[in-house]
Amino acid sequence: MRLKFSKMHGLGNDFVMLDGITQRIKLSPEKIRRMADRHLGVGCDQVLVVEAPRNPEADFRYRIFNADGSEVENCGNGARCFARFVRDRRLTGKHQLLVETAGGLLQLNLLEGDRVSVDMGAPILEPERIPFSADIAAESYPLDVDGEVHTIGAVSMGNPHAVLLVDSVDDAPVLTLGPKIERHPRFPQRVNVGFLQLQSRNQARLRVFERGVGETRACGTGACAAMVAARLRDLVDEEVTIQLPGGNLTIHWSGPGQPVTMTGPATNVYHGQIVL
């Protein structure tokens, strides 16, 4: 199987983009892992597949696969890259798109230059829908990891996130604590883990250990979840610039029941073909 692809990234969170509308695509977890391998394949954090929508209201559907071959519900950086990809490949001429994902519908708006704004929808805070094991919804929760109790925020942006406040992201135990929380039994579908350092009410830094990937240079849904977790505790204002290792995202959220808006760049790296 020979596939045409585009390599793209959103703040260094990189993707193999596949057009499943003009070419036939049949992927297995093994083939996804091969494509994502940085030594034997193209190399990426996630593989995104563009498809025709099932929902008649949507313009497109896209599927998201982690580097380990697992399919996930949502990806904010991938959504921005998706918007540029379908325009650059001339699959649409629209500047506003309604896109179907496993996590629900997303509204994408292409702005000037390489910037894209994404309406990520309202965050999910009910534990059973995240999913997260807790009796009632709360602004924060205690989480026991190897006998040490950490305070986390639990939020779903179509995919589950745990958010911890830290004094410094430079010193945060992302690579040791991150995988332990990712597979914590209170998160039955595993979880993305964000380490958030607040600098002011509208500035923050963030590192994210992504479920099925490891630490990435940026995580769009992670930035949205971090903003929500901080705002629920009245630690930030309605709009926050979040600095990730790959660059900055602007996140806006006015409060419970309202959608989260994420704005940031999407960049083409190259186009190519791969034989699987």
Catalytic residue numbers, as ranges: 75, 219
Gyration radius from the chain CA atoms: 18
Contact 55, 104 (CB under 8 A): no
Size (the chain), residues = 276
Distance CA 9, CA 172 (A): 25
Q: Which amino acid type is present at position 72?
A: V
Contact 73, 159 (CB under 8 A): yes
Contact 35, 49 (CB under 8 A): no
CA distances, 76 to each of 71, 177, 182, 211 (Å): 15, 23, 19, 14
Secondary structure (DSSP) of 106-145? EEEEE-STTEEEEE--PPB--GGGTT---SS--S-EEEEE
Residue 147's region, left for phi above 0, alpha for psi from -120 to 50, else beta, is left
Place of tokens 């900055």: 248
Contact 207, 13 (CB under 8 A): no
